[in-house]
Amino acid sequence: MFLTKKKYSIILFLMLILLIFTLNISAQNPQMNGPVEEFKVQKQLNSSIIFILIVIALLLVLFVWEPMPISLLALLVPIILTIFNQYSKLSVEDSLSGFGNPATITVMAMFVFSAGIQRSGAVQLLGDRISQITGKNPKRQIALISIFTGSTSGIINNTPVVAALIPMVRELGRKTNVSPSKLLIPLSYAAMLGGTVTLIGTSTNLLASQVSERMLGHPFSMFEFSLLGIIVLIIGIIYLLTVGFKLVPARLEVEDDLTDEYEVRAYLTEVLVGEDCNFVGKSFEEITEDKELDYDIIRIIRNGKQFMEPLNAKTVRVGDHLIIRARQDTLLELTRSKGMKTLPEMVVDDDAIEQPLAGETLVEVVVPAHSFLVNKTLKEINFLERYNCNVLALRRGEELTHQKMEDYRFQPGDLLLLLATEKTLARLRKNNNFIIDREYDPNLFDQKKMYISLAILVFFISTVSLGLLPVAIAALSGAFLMAFSGCINKNDFFDAIDWDVYFLLSGLIPMGMAIERSGTAAYIAVNINNLTSVLSPVFILMVIYLLTSLLTNLISNNASVLLMLPIAVGTAEQLGINPFAFVITTTFAASAAFASPVGYQTNLMVYSSGGFKFRDFIIAGAPLQLMMTVIVPLLVRMIWGF
């Protein structure tokens, strides 16, 4: 059975409960200062606060166990807040405000920006140069990958940067005999850290800017926290080259053949159809309908000609050779009951499976978080007929499966090994629902589109930095110019947008407003401030960072920043210190999902590509998480002061 996130989620959830319990104990501590005690009396639990706390708890449980995509779960928020508006203190307009929120619009436009730059081939081309510089030195590879990824993620969304670089990184590892696993976690961590350098590096920053403007009248400027972001990025890279280098495991061995990497050899066999075979005279559709054992017919060889999916209309004849995917015990039962003869001389490797003349090739495909495959099975989406290809194996993290794949329910980051025709491969390249792994084509680079897309990006950054246009309007203008100039196909404009993120943000933005208006933020802030009897304000800031980063590892960066910012601002106001320092700290903490593969999209993307276990992220990421819990608040205090 595949490893799920349940055990890890329980651990983090218990840690969160323990912290909250500590805060509640401190709330009963009589040794607290006068102003906080006075505020606590004015902010006792009431029906509104209890209601909001129940909704928050419900969301956390649903987001952790994920009975359906969290983007759909987020739509419950405006529904609940409107129905129970006497407790949420929000009007209908407030509950629906997330759908037209400037931050939501900006994030959507940035997806188009990133797609335009990515599809010019610029990121892939520059990334490919790394292999020419680093040679076979893994530390040098990590350093350049981290520097390049971190700097690029500061100016375009970090998710497509990682999507573009995963194939390059895996191919680099293969060429230099370095396990791709050693390079992929640094790729993801550097993308997260680089996203904190500028306002547009990640959707988290844009959301936090909007909340900061609403609560403090202080939105982020383009380079407001760049100094802090650069320092944090450098510290992260140093960690990855020292402690992290020892902690990141080499899960995947360097294999020249995909068949070896996916252990296909033990599951593919060539059989000969004899005169007494039960399949003779039956169509493949009939065989499939009557199938009792777990096997798939991958290919038919007849008179020297190769045929692959779709095979349904073909009829089995005497003398046909069938390539069958099945376990050995299943194959023995199949040959015994159906009257077929195995041909053990078949050599299973990439060259044997791929048929260049027929245009068939092996390809790895990553399922991104926004893919329509998520939470669906091959059977439900009619995958084989839709894409005219065979699925030979599936990988989730360290686990491989070759059985019962039709009923396998996909999750973000899953890796598929496909046997596909060139026509199918061309379709997959254009399809946003897949990331083609281990593929880099220099011909994809379009110099003209690269210059135009970069010029549009400079236009966007300049207008926002100089205050000539609001961020949302500048972003919309840039997205329009990307389509108008042809940097992104007009038909692909809406496909470039991650609609899951749109609905997630739209649903959760009013939750942050409800936390603030119901008094919940003030109530929680008072309980946190009771720790001032034993902790100084900078340690309170560390507690805020730790709580936010725990939530990020549990749910997502956007959800955690929207839930925690009102609490952080309320805490600062009750302490009587600079609330903007708390906003910055919370924003950085929301982009610090180092200890989990499920809290941040880039971690999910490398999870299966690197063959990682859940605990690999805990072992490699927890020390960095704790380091940043101390370092970021101290740096924030130095730069912004209390």
Q: Are 308 and 284 in contact (CB under 8 A)?
A: no
- For position 325, what pLDDT does the model report? 76
Which of the pair, 275 or 86, is modelled with greater confidence? 86
Closest CA to 273 of 318, 325, 312: 318
CATH class of 258-348: alpha beta
pLDDT, residue 16, reads: 53
- Check the CA dihedral 46-50-52-53 and report its sign: positive
Task: With CA atoms as reference, report the closest residue to 512 among 552, 567, 556.
Answer: 567
Mean pLDDT of 50-66: 82
More confident residue, 323 or 234: 234
Structure token pair of residue 92: 């209908």
Percent of the chain with pLDDT over 70: 83
User: How far is 419 from 496, CA to CA, in rounded Å?
Assistant: 26
pLDDT at 224: 93
Mean pLDDT of 423-436: 77
**Largest interatomic CA distance in the chain:** 94
- Is residue 131 within 8 A of residue 165, CB to CB? The reply is no
Q: Smallest Cα–Cα separation from 602: which of 124, 195, 111?
A: 195
Scan for tokens 């048929």, then name that residue.
355
Q: What is the 3-state secondary structure (H, E, C) of 259-281?
A: HHHCCHHHCEEEEEECCCCCCCC
Stretch 313-324: mean pLDDT? 79
Answering whether pTM is above 0.85, one says no
Contacts 24+ apart (CB under 8 A), 570-574: 570/516, 570/521, 570/522, 570/524, 570/525, 571/524, 571/525, 571/528, 571/529, 571/540, 571/544, 573/525, 574/35, 574/36, 574/39, 574/522, 574/525, 574/526, 574/529
**Cis peptide bond N-terminal to 310, omega within 30:** yes
Tens of pLDDT, residues 534-557: 778 899 999 999 999 988 887 778
DSSP at 492? G
Query: Crossing angle of helices 47-65/499-517, nearest 10°?
Result: 160
DSSP 35-48: HHHHHHHHT---HH
Secondary structure of residue 208 in the 3-state scheme: helix
Domain boundary assignment for the chain: 106-256+444-492, 258-348
- State how far the Cα of 360 lies from the Cα of 358, in Å rounded to an integer: 6
pLDDT at 268: 75
- Matching residue, tokens 């505020």: 39
Measured CA angle at 244 (ends 241, 247), to 5 deg: 135
The CA-based dihedral angle spanning residues 123, 128, 134, 137, taken in that order and rounded to the nearest 10 degrees: 100
Mean pLDDT is lowest, of 190-194, 206-210, 331-335, 412-416, for 331-335
Residue 116 tokens read as 């335009």
**β-sheet bridge partners, residue 365:** 416, 436
* Beta pairing partners, 17: none
Return the structure tokens found at 479.
């997205």
The token pair that represents 301 in the structure block: 């060889």
Sheet holding 340-342, edge to edge: 305-308, 296-302, 321-325, 268-273, 340-342
Q: What is the pLDDT of residue 167?
A: 75
Q: Of residues 188 and 339, which shows the higher confidence score?
A: 188
pLDDT higher than threshold 70 for residue 131: no
| Among candidate residues 582, 500, 493, the one with its CA nearest the CA of residue 537 | 582
- Mean per-residue pLDDT of the chain: 80
Tens digit of pLDDT for each residue in 483-514?
A: 888 888 877 788 788 788 888 889 888 988 89
Q: Facing residues of 437 across strands?
A: 364
Q: What are the CA-CA distances from residue 173 to residues 160, 364, 400 (Å)?
A: 20, 16, 21
Helix (H, G, I), strand (E, B) or coil at 413: coil
Residue corresponding to tokens 């495909």? 365
Q: Write the pLDDT tens digit of every residue in 132-158.
A: 777 778 899 999 999 989 998 888 878
- Position with higher pLDDT, 55 vs 308: 55
Query: Three-state DSSP class for 191?
Result: helix
Half-sphere CA count of 257, side-chain side, radius 13 A: 13
**pLDDT at site 35:** 39
All residues at 6 or more sequence positions from 18 whose CB lies less than 8 Å from its CB, including other chains = none
pLDDT, tens digit, for every residue of 436-478?
Answer: 765 555 555 677 888 888 888 888 889 988 888 888 899 899 8
Task: Look at residue 26 and tell me whether its pLDDT is greater than 60.
Answer: no
The DSSP 8-state label assigned to residue 211 in this structure reads H
Contact 113, 161 (CB under 8 A): no
Strand order in the sheet with 360-366: 399-401, 389-396, 415-421, 360-366, 435-437
Instruction: Give the DSSP letter of residue 491.
Output: G
Label residue 616 by pLDDT band (50, 70, 90): very high
